[in-house]
Structure 1
Amino acid sequence: MLESTSLLVACLICLPALIMASRQSSWLIDYLFFVVALNRGVRRVVDYNNGYFNPFSTISLTPIIVGGLAVVVVLLELNRRGHELGHRTANVLYLYGGAVAFAFVIGFINAKLGAVYALGDYIAPIGLMGYGSLWAADSKTIDRWCHTFAASVLVVAVYGIWQFYTIPPWDGFWLMASGMDGYMGIPEPTKMTLFSTMNERGPAAMYLCCGAILLMLRPGTLGLLRWPAAVAILFAMLLTYSRTTVIFAGLAVALFPLLNRGSGLLPVAGLSLLVLVAGPSIMARMPGQASARVETIGAIQDDGSFKGRIMLLGVALRGAIAEPLGRGIGADGMASRVQQASNAVVADSTGYVKTLATYGWIGFFVIVTVLYRLWRSSSDLVTWELDDRNVRIFRAWFIAGMVALFSGNWLVGASFFWVLAGYCLGKMDQEDKSEQLAVGSKQWEDGRWEIGSNQTSVDSY
């Protein structure tokens, strides 16, 4: 009965996505953001009402299913003769898809069902990049996706702040039943880290960080709510006690004008000045351990977590030599528990470590190649002086993200980063097509002139 309730809720969540996918609707991406943002919260309410904690609830699989439907739409487009995806986008999707397919095979051998459980996080970028490229010429759709994503992050932030100060019973129930107490505090107001509707504080912090970056760097997003929403999101992000996301967001804002020929320099300078002047006073008034956590950033080299990640880099390199093909998808984290039926999880490590451990040396090289091509596309667009705020945001996000990847593996899952990546690829494909049409038109004109000249010569003769 308990499983049937979760299954029913999961089916109700996935049904609209199935309808949208069947119509190849761009609204599927809007829906995906809210499913990613809220599914764990819905699951906790269902478990609480049932009085039973189900660690493998089918509701948790809804982002995998909805994201998978987006991937199906993109794959059908790729296999359609005369598809609208350009060669740059197609090449990147094939490269990334090949690496994921190989890692899935290795993961299935090592982790069995764990690989299936984790696959959704790795295929989500295929759907998001494909959709971003397909709708790159439709500025209204891209703008709507930005508004929708920011709105979903705002919902996560507002609920998270309420959660931090009140501790809803279903969240407290989940914290104790899942054994996450201690790591995330105790279920009492201001004594528990904010994790909002996510599965824990790390993913919540990263989701909030992505929304904060978008709001701070993209004028017009959410209209008059832009800055109030940004403040609420940043406040919620600090309550997760995540230092990585503070560095991530700060770097993205600071690098934005440096990577984009001074674009947005005055707003960024003004924002930086405001943080320098008011930041210390605001942080001193932050509840919980937020202030203490942020203060350790200045001496991060002495932090135990930082030292642990340095140690894990060495461990990962030694492991990569022993397992050059990698461990595959699903061999660590929550997905591994599906196969092992235990609460044991692999120790935390850096995003680079997890990428190397998952894909092996060959797959890691392929992922690096994909990232290089994405960066190259954005650089070419800037070189051609294409004034596009979405491209500029992607570039700042990319470089800041490469630094943040030292801590967490934010590349997996339904991140808005991949929509912007697909957008850049789509724009490059449009430029390529325009150039080809221009060259073809010139050749046709030249050919007509030559034919005309020859005809004139014959007539004269």
Structure 2
Amino acid sequence: MSEATAIPGSMPGALPGTGSARAPVRASARAPARARSRSSYLTGPFAMPFGVFMITFVLILAHQGRLLELTFMPMGVAVSFWLYRRYPAHYLSFVCWLFFLTPEVRRFADYYNGVFNSTSIIMTTPIFAACVSGLSMVLNYRQLGQRRAAPLLMMLIAVMYGYVMGVAQFGIMPATFTVIGWLQPIFIGWYIQLNWRLYPLFRRVLFKTFIYGTILMGFYGIYQYVSPPPWTVFWLVKSGMDSSSGTPVPFGMRICSTMNSTGPFAITMMVGLLMSLASRSKMKIAAGVAGVPALLFTAVRTSWGALVIGLIYPLAMLDVRSRLRLVMAVFLFAGLCTPMLMIDQISAPIVRRMSTIGNLSDDNSFQARQGFYTNFSAIAEESFAGHGMGSTGLASKLADPHAQIIASLDSGVVDVMWVLGWPGGLLYVAGLFALLWRAFLASLSRPGDRFAISGVGAAISILAIMVMIDTMQGASGMYFMFGVVMPVIGVRYAQEQQRRNLAIGRARKREAA
């Protein structure tokens, strides 16, 4: 089969979620937003997610925490599958919103149950919803042989190597629990690549998702910082996270907003701000007002530095006009947030945290990570073949208590080498850098595509944080795939449009002759 006939949108009988040309997808891809009636927002891609929101909201108001715990995950996965089948771009948006809001739903459920559940099934909802996209890999496995699939295929082979090693050493349950998190970003990247014809729709929907997500989570995070709600206080105390997130009193905690902890929330705010800066929407002002203070209140220094890294790339790559707009937006964000920092209760913790950047010798977390890299050669030698999936993280709780396990590793690089070993680790890292290199070349060829260039900047930032934590799983892994795959399909879409326009022009000349 030639590459032209292998395009998902041209395969007869293909599953709609893999890019088939069913009417709902074509209509949503071609019809401008202003031309659609308001009623379509309750009958189109928003109908089912709105239903999940309303049911969840009613259960929270009725204090039905137990029922919420039992119903939220099935509802979320069912709606994800429906969107996957019919509306690919809105499927990605819904998965993002699940990552944004699911931990807060879990907190409500635990609070109204009166018991902290350390293994809440609610928390599996976004991962399972994201893994629905794995069906596209199963149904289009033949396309894994194409050259454009090579980076994702390398990562997939490396992960499956780690899975086999994990099953052999720790059993199927711990290994399977872990491999889902590793596979989820790969599935998302593959799903986006298959639906390349929908690039304009992806860009529009994801812009709105990150802007409105930043606004909602940012303002809620500010409220959480000023006046911690009781369900947040209950969750922090019962989970034991008050030791790392601070005292749950006004101006005394590191915020996580609606997400599970400060780290993932800080990365989400960083990506949201980078995407907001690239947008032409007027709502980006509100996103900056909400997102900048929220990012500061997390007190996550790695994300502060990563935001700077993420800004450098667009400033270097964008055309002159877009570069000036980006600089103006940065100064606008900073100017709007300056008055708030004049309040001592707000500015004092931030200044105190910033002062530790230049005094790393007294920083316990930095010293611990430095110890990992000092002993990296010993760790690499010990784990040459890899310990496999299930040897680190939460999955270690499911493993044999007598097995050699590590509860957590404060370094994404060490985590990859420990789990995958040298064979799998080098293959996995090669796939990551191949994706990033292709995205760089794609963004270089289209300096006017601010969405793609900001996405690459966000991907570089997420990769830079890998020296501290593993950012290739969960929400941050999905954001990385957005950043490295979207520019590539953007170039492919632009080339296809150019070829189509040339063909139309030639046809019109023949008709005129």
Does 2:187 correspond to 1:124? no
SS, match of residue 247 in structure 2: coil
Alpha-carbon separation, structure 1, partners of 2:146 and 2:288: 37
Deviation of the 1:132 alpha carbon: 2.4
Alpha-carbon separation, structure 1, partners of 2:302 and 2:233: 25
**1:284 touches 1:291 (CA, 8 Å); kept in 2?**
no
Instruction: Give deviations 1:292-344, integer Å, cap 9, x for gaps.
Output: 11232244466332232121113343122111122333322233234479xx9
Does 2:194 correspond to 1:134? yes
Aligned to 1:103: 162
Alpha-carbon separation, structure 2, partners of 1:245 and 1:298: 16
Aligned to 1:234: 292
Alpha-carbon separation, structure 2, partners of 1:130 and 1:140: 17
Q: Which amino acid aligns with 1:17?
A: S
Q: Which amino acid aligns with 1:426?
A: I
Change (3 A) 1:120 1:152: farther
Alpha-carbon separation, structure 1, partners of 2:249 and 2:99: 26
Change (3 A) 1:25 1:195: same
Does 2:487 correspond to 1:424? yes
Aligned pair partner of 1:196 in 257, 261, 265: 257
Deviation of the 1:2 alpha carbon: 8.1
Deviation of the 1:428 alpha carbon: 5.5
Does 2:116 correspond to 1:58? no
SS, match of residue 167 in structure 1: coil
**Matching of residues 24-423 of structure 1 within 5 Å:** 25-79=88-142, 87-112=146-171, 113-138=173-198, 139-216=200-277, 218-220=278-280, 223-260=281-318, 264-270=322-328, 283=341, 285=343, 286-287=346-347, 289-300=349-360, 303-339=363-399, 346-382=407-443, 384-385=445-446, 387-414=448-475, 415-423=478-486
SS, match of residue 249 in structure 2: coil
Alpha-carbon separation, structure 1, partners of 2:490 and 2:146: 12
Q: Which amino acid aligns with 1:292?
A: R
Aligned to 1:446: none
Q: Which has the higher contact order (CA 8 A, sep 6+)?
A: 1
**2:319 touches 2:448 (CA, 8 Å); kept in 1?**
no
Name the stretch that deviates more: 118-127 or 33-42.
118-127
Change (3 A) 1:434 1:5: closer
Alpha-carbon separation, structure 1, partners of 2:271 and 2:321: 20
SS, match of residue 243 in structure 2: coil
Name the stretch that deviates more: 228-237 or 417-426.
417-426
Deviation of the 1:56 alpha carbon: 0.8
Instruction: Give deviations 1:421-446, integer Å, cap 9, x for gaps.
Output: 22233345568889999xxxxxxxxx
Q: TM-score scaled by structure 2? A: 0.75
RMSD: 3.3
Q: Which amino acid aligns with 1:322?
A: E
**1:14 touches 1:62 (CA, 8 Å); kept in 2?**
yes
Instruction: Give deviations 1:26-50, integer Å, cap 9, x for gaps.
Output: 3211110111111111111111111
Identity across the alignment (%): 23
**2:392 touches 2:407 (CA, 8 Å); kept in 1?**
yes
Deviation of the 1:346 alpha carbon: 3.1
Deviation of the 1:62 alpha carbon: 0.6
Alpha-carbon separation, structure 2, partners of 1:97 and 1:432: 28
Alpha-carbon separation, structure 1, partners of 2:176 and 2:223: 34
Instruction: Give deviations 1:171-196, integer Å, cap 9, x for gaps.
Output: 11111111222221222222221012
Structure number, greater radius of gyration: 1
For structure 1, list consecutive stretches of 5 or more residues without a partner in the other structure: 438-461
**1:260 touches 1:392 (CA, 8 Å); kept in 2?**
yes
Change (3 A) 1:140 1:5: closer
Alpha-carbon separation, structure 2, partners of 1:72 and 1:268: 38
Alpha-carbon separation, structure 2, partners of 1:422 and 1:411: 14
Deviation of the 1:23 alpha carbon: 4.0
Alpha-carbon separation, structure 1, partners of 2:305 and 2:192: 27
Aligned to 1:455: none
**1:136 touches 1:142 (CA, 8 Å); kept in 2?**
no
Deviation of the 1:420 alpha carbon: 2.9
Change (3 A) 1:197 1:335: farther
Alpha-carbon separation, structure 2, partners of 1:386 and 1:278: 28
**2:267 touches 2:303 (CA, 8 Å); kept in 1?**
yes
Q: How many residues align?
A: 430
Name the stretch that deviates more: 54-63 or 298-307.
298-307
Q: TM-score scaled by structure 1? A: 0.82
Instruction: Give deviations 1:67-90, integer Å, cap 9, x for gaps.
Output: 1101223432334xxx6x893442
Alpha-carbon separation, structure 1, partners of 2:168 and 2:248: 39
**2:155 touches 2:431 (CA, 8 Å); kept in 1?**
yes
Aligned to 2:51: none
Deviation of the 1:119 alpha carbon: 2.8
Alpha-carbon separation, structure 1, partners of 2:396 and 2:211: 32
Name the stretch that deviates more: 296-305 or 361-370.
296-305
Q: Which amino acid aligns with 2:163?
A: F
**2:189 touches 2:481 (CA, 8 Å); kept in 1?**
yes
Change (3 A) 1:211 1:108: farther
Change (3 A) 1:126 1:46: same
Instruction: Give deviations 1:101-151, integer Å, cap 9, x for gaps.
Output: 112222334444333333332112123212322333331232112211332
